[in-house]
Structure formats: structure tokens, C-alpha cells
Amino acid sequence: MSFENLNKKYQVKIIKELKHLPHVFKIRNRYGKIIKVITVNKDFINCEKNIGKSFNCFELKNGKLKETYDLYSVPQNSIFSIHSEKGLIKDKRYIKDAIISTLTNYELLDENLLITYNDQEIIAYNKFYKAQLYQFLVIYGSETIEIFEVPSPNPKLNLQYERLDEFKIHDHMIKFSNSIGNKAEVTVLYSIPGFAYLIYTITQTDITIKFPDDRWTKIILDPDKYYLLTYLKNIEEKIQK
């Protein structure tokens, strides 16, 4: 046996079992684009890295601030906030120093915190969960639409579904066909970027996708399962518009 092989490192994929679909999560589409998904439009903070955005996000750990651009679930109210109409920090070069000083004064520097800051307000949360990147089973993928099989959502979210036989996403028509009246249960999720829908199939259901150029495809969805459908504009669509 070669000693070189003993020292060789291997990349492995860890399989994590999920009881329910998380409130916030990330997926990667077939072109490598990260999509952030939120189940309900509350109890989350999106620290997207955008030029000219009105706030910044930091994680405080071991007394040090680190800027973050991630998506977080915040299931509880903030533990601390300070507000000033006149502005808290005049020189943005000293944002971190000012936040550290403020947290020290309120004896919060030893906490693990998610902090949001804008010109007039500093808010801190001690209960927060970063959105994880998951690799769900891909049922179908095209240049604009992808369908994943996903776990059931947490019943506590109380998602509101609508029974539909069809719906439209821009110029794409989505149709359902099954043995109980051509309907599936659909709820709209929140996707950054694009659009996202959670579909529940009561019985075995055919889903037909008709594209703007009159192409169409049909996929069979198993009964009593949940599917995530995501939509992103492709490059060709952006050029045409």
C-alpha cells in the first residue's frame, strides 16, 4: 500500500434527514445559481449583498463582528434595539467600532448575535438560524423551471393552499391532470430571485408545462407528496424583453 494514498483526502457528501421543509433555505439550480426560499413572508432577515441597500448585517461571535450576506430565520423578537432620528454613526468607516462600543455598554458583547444596522437603528437578535443549502431530488429541469421533491412543511406554518387545475408564470402555463378533477394544492412561497411554488399532490398527478415557444413537457408527480417549483428568467428571455 502506498503511503501517498493514506494521506489522500476525499470530498464526501453528508446526507441530512429533514422532518420538515425549513422556514428558510437555499437551493442551487442546474446552472449553479443559488436561490433563497422563504416559506412565509415573516420572521426572516435577508442580508443580500446589494449596492445601495439601506442596511448591513453582522454576526457577533466571540466578541468579534463579521459582515454577512446570508438569509436568516429569526423566530423571536429582537433582544435589543437602539434608534436615533438624527443618525447613529456619522462616518461609516467606524460602523463596527460604534456597534462594538454600543454592545459593550449594554453588556451584550459576550452574546452570539445577529445584528442589523442602518443610519438610524441598531437591532440585535439572539435567536437566529442561517439558511442552509440543500440538495433535494430533482424531478425536472429546464432553462427556466425546475421541480424538486421536498419534505412536507411544518404544520405550524399554517400555509394556505389553493386548489388549482392550472396557473401561469409569465408566459409559461402550468396545468395539472389527475383522477379527482384536474386539481393540485398550490401555495406561493417567496424566492430570491425568481418565483417559487409549493405543490401538494393528493393523488398521482400529471403536470404539463407549456413554454412560450409552444414547446411542452409532461411530468408524473407521485401521490401525497410535496414538490417545489422554481422559476428563473433565462438569458434569452432577458434579451428579448
- 16 within some domain: no
Q: How many whole angstroms separate alpha carbon 199 and alpha carbon 188?
A: 9
| 85 & 161 share domain | no
| 230 & 140 share domain | yes
Domain boundary among 103, 130, 157: 130
pLDDT above 90 coverage of the chain, percent? 68
Q: pLDDT tens, 49-79?
A: 775 566 789 999 999 999 999 999 999 999 9
Residue type, 90: K
| 71 & 50 share domain | yes
| 154 & 208 share domain | yes
For residue 58, count other CB atoms closer than 10 A to its CB.
Answer: 22
Is the pLDDT reported for residue 214 higher than 70? yes
The helix (run of H) or strand (run of E) holding residue 123 is: strand 121-125
Q: pLDDT tens, 159-206?
A: 999 999 999 998 999 999 998 887 899 999 999 999 999 999 999 999
Q: How many whole angstroms separate alpha carbon 58 and alpha carbon 71?
A: 12
- 28 within some domain: no
Q: Are strands 24-28 and 44-46 parallel, antiparallel or unpaired?
A: unpaired
- 31 within some domain: no
State the pLDDT at residue 240: 43
| 118 & 147 share domain | no
Q: What integer is the mean pLDDT of 109-120?
A: 91
Domain boundary among 110, 130, 150: 130
The helix (run of H) or strand (run of E) holding residue 50 is: none
| 74 & 114 share domain | yes
pTM: 0.85
Phi then psi for 104, rounded to 5 degrees?
-65, -45
- 229 within some domain: yes
- 78 within some domain: yes
Q: Read off the pLDDT band of 239 (50, 70, 90).
A: very low
- 1 within some domain: no
State the pLDDT at residue 238: 45
**What range does the domain containing 119 cover?**
44-130
- 163 within some domain: yes
Q: Give the chain's domain count.
A: 2
Domain boundary among 115, 130, 145: 130
- 95 within some domain: yes
